[in-house]
Amino acid sequence: MIFGLPVLLMFLPLLGCFFVLSSRQNANNAKHVTILTLCSGILMILRLFSELDLSQKGMQFVYNFDWLTSANITLSFGVDAFSLLLLAGIYISLLTAVVSLPLQQHENKSLLAWNMYFLWNVSGLLFANDIISFYTFFAAILLPLFMLIGQFGDLKKKIGLYMFFIFNFAGIIVLLCAVVLVFKYYHGNIMLHEIALMNMPQKAAKAVWGGVCLALLARIPIWPFHYWISSIVSIIKNPLVYIITMLVPLTGLYGFMRFWQLTIAESVMPYINFMAIICLITMIFIVLIGIAHKEFLYKLFAYMTVYYLLFLLAEILLSSILQADTLQMNIAYALFTFLPVTSILIILDLQMEKECEDKNCDYRGILAYMPKRAKIFVFYVIMALGMPVSALFWNNFIIVSDLFKFSFNIGICVMFALSLLTISMLYELYVMRDLKKHISPNENIADISNLHLAYLAFIGAILFLSFFNPLWFKF
């Protein structure tokens, strides 16, 4: 049965989307279907981990589907530890967001259905083993995101939607041109790990890899592509939509992880240093903007941007001198903690901001009004910044240490950006504390429920276990 499980896991969110759309219109039905789908997916991931051979390199449980035999097109899907770790982090993040939805959004079937459709495309992208499947899901991710932003974003700020459409549509067009060139020289579909083995003229190779890199960078908040995502996050106040938006850079990072180590051509290597410089400049620039902003949510956006760029920097610089699988798994372990932690912080901050607006209290001192929410909020902020007993701390420590070994100057720039980021977020906690000058709210603010608190504590315990053994759930 295990051999059919990856295909079932890939199509599970699509099945959940259909059930959400066909569910009865009541207060909790669509939400319960979504939670059941996400919990079922997590159990399937655990089952796949139990059968995964960690000593084997490359995709496992590979399925090939003959689609257009006349055009030599065979679709291929598989899983490995890296893709399953990312998918587990995504499932936990989305489950946390759905559980935390306010009552008035429980029956919003379109919100939950688009969430499931987005998850289906992400699952397909993580399982894709050939260029056609990868491109199809890479492009399809934009549809649910565009619909969610249009429905739940501030339509008065249409410039954000325009920038989102322009940058991302240009990226998928450029990637399509690269795929067409691959077809021209290979005469059919090709597995991702075989692209570097193709015989192409130097100009064609530069065009292919230039297109691939530009398409992937368009998803990552690196200059000048950072503008679209910073414009989008400023108009979204729905936690689930915000988290989905912040998962989009992960698809670009994942593309680099899949293409760079095994398939990158020598013709692209001279541009690595230039890309690294742009990464470092963007990291410092985004951190300084985060310090200037008073809203914690923008500081959190700066935090997520810096860490995405840190992982990208490690991939493009260290993959040539370190064992590819070791580096990839270090990043995967860090992301497994990074995704749920940042998602929980997004949810808590947006909930506190909403309560403050409704009850007319001073947001800068909101931690004084919600003691239970404040404790869990501070706990996850400290974990995000590098709590010593978390996989995020240990694997980030290894990555930064390797960057120092590669180049002392690069290591200093990375540490400077991370230090400023830590100061910025800790200072925001300082100004949120209980100050006597803060005006009391007109009404009592509802603190986090005991059930929700227990759930967040449970997630914290799972992430705590990941420090001692990142794959402790492999049984």
Mean pLDDT by 10 residues, the chain (475 residues): 75 88 73 89 88 76 74 78 89 90 68 90 89 88 84 65 77 85 74 69 75 82 74 77 88 82 60 82 87 84 89 80 71 87 89 75 73 84 76 78 85 88 86 62 69 85 74 60
User: Residue 321: what pLDDT?
Assistant: 66
Residue 377 lies in a domain: yes
Residue 92 lies in a domain: no
Cα–Cα distance measured from residue 419 to residue 413, given in angstroms and rounded to the nearest whole number: 10
User: Residue 218: what pLDDT?
Assistant: 83
User: Residue 119: what pLDDT?
Assistant: 93
Cα–Cα distance measured from residue 87 to residue 60, given in angstroms and rounded to the nearest whole number: 15
User: Residue 105: what pLDDT?
Assistant: 59
pTM of the model: 0.89
Residue 147 lies in a domain: no
Helix (H) or strand (E) holding 313: helix 296-318
Residue 326 lies in a domain: yes
Residue 56's Cβ-count burial label (10 Å; 0-12, 13-18, 19+) is exposed
Residue 315's Cβ-count burial label (10 Å; 0-12, 13-18, 19+) is buried
What are the structure tokens assigned to 311, written together?
């992982």
Q: Mention every residue, 6+ apart, whose C-beta is less than 8 A from residue 433.
A: 365, 367, 368
User: Residue 316: what pLDDT?
Assistant: 81
User: Residue 87: what pLDDT?
Assistant: 92
User: Residue 1: what pLDDT?
Assistant: 46
Tell me, rounded to whole angstroms, the distance of Cα 442 from its chain centroid.
38
Cα–Cα distance measured from residue 171 to residue 174, given in angstroms and rounded to the nearest whole number: 5
Residue 162 lies in a domain: no
Half-sphere exposure of 27 (CA within 13 A, CB side): 3
Q: Residue 397 belongs to what domain range? A: 266-475
Cα–Cα distance measured from residue 81 to residue 408, given in angstroms and rounded to the nearest whole number: 31
CA distances 449 to 100, 362, 370, 445, 456, Å, are 10, 22, 11, 12, 11
Q: CA-based angle 383:252:176, to the nearest 5?
A: 170
User: Residue 69: what pLDDT?
Assistant: 63
Residue 80 lies in a domain: no
CA distances 408 to 209, 312, 413, 452, 456, Å, are 29, 18, 9, 44, 39
Residue 137 lies in a domain: no
User: Residue 262: what pLDDT?
Assistant: 53
Alpha helices in 187-238 (DSSP H): 202-217, 226-233
Q: Answer yes or no: are the C-beta atoms of 251 and 122 closer than 8 Å.
A: yes
User: Residue 322: what pLDDT?
Assistant: 61
Instruction: Give the total number of structural domains in the chain.
Output: 1
Residue 439 lies in a domain: yes
